[in-house]
Amino acid sequence: MNNSQSFVLVLNCGSSSLKFAVIDPVSGDEALTGLAECLGNLDARISWKLDGKKSEEALAPGGAHREAIEFLVDLIQKHGLDKGLIAVGHRVVQGAERFTKSVLIDKEVVDGIKAISNLAILHNPANLMGVHAAQRAFPKLPQVAVFDTAFHQTMPDHAYMYALPKDLYTRYGIRRYGAHGTSHFYVASEAACILGKPLEETNVITAHLGNGASVCAVKNGKSVDTSMGMTPLEGLVMGTRSGDIDPSIPDFLATNGYSPQEVNTILNRQSGLLGISGLSNDFRTILKGCDEGHKGALLAYEMFCYRLAKYIAGYMIPLQRIDALVFTGGIGENSFPMRKRVMELLAVFGYQLDEEANRKAMGSTGGQISTPDSPMVLVIPTNEEWVIAKEAAALAKNG
């Protein structure tokens, strides 16, 4: 780090976790990255990487976001990173129709995020905890909210509406909002650079495949459809989320004695790869299970690939012309067998895999994995933190 370097502290608060990074918004260099986990529990802890060295410490038992941020502030000050800090960027999951782009946080914005928290009961309150803790810790720094939904606000109404009575949309805001917007935007922009085209003229399908997973159709640089819905539960088979199911299943379960809470837990935490395989939500364990012939793992794997391929095929409709298909996220960046299977399923559209390039595209390498005759397929490591840092730095400068 040199003395003139500027940094943004990026915070991503979950209900019991806090991911953080101190990033140079210009170069994307990460001076510090880390994760506080099990917040509010007896085994609350924090781990971080600084100057290439990994460390971990226990937080006080029951330590929550506030304690984690206090620890983080100490860490930042101890290593002199506070001198270069110019802003704090917060990932906020739900911005609804109110927030179509990133904003500087003031009281009105906090109230706005609170007002739409009913659309993201697990996420927005946690994001606000992070905002309050960071405001206390850094009262002089501009705080910026970057919304996961903002990129998808360009979807046309025929893509974002549900075929429900319109009244439910006007009264409660029930519609599709999508998520992972920062990641879809980032990899679409990177794909445009690789293609040598302006983003505004680029059509791509981006598949963000991590514990949560979604696909996005990007037309002329704008999101025109995405697989997640009003909440992140809709769409693909995920680590523990069901993705698409017949909407009458919750009612069927209710008549069989399941409470709304239990149904919610089943669909969000016990389904997906974990529920089908009975083994794990972790894709590496699923792959290992497949190698060992575990029937549940084999089914979970095939369902994951099949649903993904169906969505990709469906997005040919809004895009008509596709410049590239992009894989990203922990699974998308690393699992070459999954990419191979999905491309086999898409062979009808002319997709052909370069097997060697596919095997080589791991971790932070990325690259093109299609043959020269095939429609282009890219693996691009995502970097949501850098997008948040850039947005926060730009708003801090202008504000």
Number of residues that bind ligand ADP (CB under 6 A): 13
The structure tokens 């085994």 sit at 43
Smaller CB separation from ligand ADP, 105 or 353: 353
**Contacts (CB under 6 A) with ligand ADP, residues 215-244:** 239
Smaller CB separation from ligand ADP, 287 or 343: 287
The binding track of 290-329 with respect to ligand ADP, each residue x by CB under 6 A or -, is ---------------------------------------x
- Compute the distance between CA of residue 94 and CA of residue 71 in angstroms, rounded to an integer: 27
Nearest approach, Cβ of residue 40 and ligand ADP (Å): 19
Reduced DSSP (H G I as helix, E B as strand, rest coil) percent helix, strand, coil of the chain, to 5: 45, 20, 35
Cα distance between the two ends of the chain: 26
Stretch that binds ligand ADP, among 65-73, 209-217, 218-226, 388-396 (CB under 6 A): 209-217
Reading the block at residue 96, the tokens are: 């609804």
Nearest approach, Cβ of residue 334 and ligand ADP (Å): 3
Q: What residues are annotated to the active site?
A: 148
Q: Please, are residues 221 and 199 in contact by the beta-carbon 8 Å criterion?
A: yes
Range list of β-strands (E), 100-232: 103-104, 143-147, 204-209, 213-219, 222-226
Q: Please, are residues 190 and 232 in contact by the beta-carbon 8 Å criterion?
A: no
Smaller CB separation from ligand ADP, 202 or 334: 334
Which residue's C-beta sits nearest to ligand ADP? Answer: 330
Residue type, 277: S
- Compute the distance between CA of residue 327 and CA of residue 261 in angstroms, rounded to an integer: 34
Least Cα distance to 133 among 67, 74, 77 occurs for 67
Smaller CB separation from ligand ADP, 181 or 239: 239
CA 29 to chain centre: 20
DSSP 3-state assignment of 123?
coil
Smaller CB separation from ligand ADP, 101 or 284: 284
**Contacts (CB under 6 A) with ligand ADP, residues 329-388:** 329-331, 334-335
Range list of β-strands (E), 334-383: 367-368, 377-379
Nearest approach, Cβ of residue 67 and ligand ADP (Å): 22
- Looking at 138, 160, 177, 283, which residue binds ligand ADP (CB under 6 A)? 283
Least Cα distance to 146 among 111, 100, 115 occurs for 100
Name 79's Cβ contacts closer than 8 Å, sequence gap at least 6: 32, 50
Nearest approach, Cβ of residue 211 and ligand ADP (Å): 4
Smaller CB separation from ligand ADP, 95 or 329: 329
Is residue 212 part of the contact set for ligand ADP (CB under 6 A)? Answer: yes
Stretch that binds ligand ADP, among 188-196, 208-216, 348-356, 391-399 (CB under 6 A): 208-216
Reading the block at residue 46, the tokens are: 């924090």
CA 391 to chain centre: 16
The structure tokens 């009264």 sit at 171
Nearest approach, Cβ of residue 273 and ligand ADP (Å): 7
Stretch that binds ligand ADP, among 136-144, 168-176, 219-227, 276-284 (CB under 6 A): 276-284
Smaller CB separation from ligand ADP, 35 or 141: 35
Q: Which stretches of the chain bind ligand ADP, using CB under 6 A?
A: 210-212, 239, 282-284, 287, 329-331, 334-335
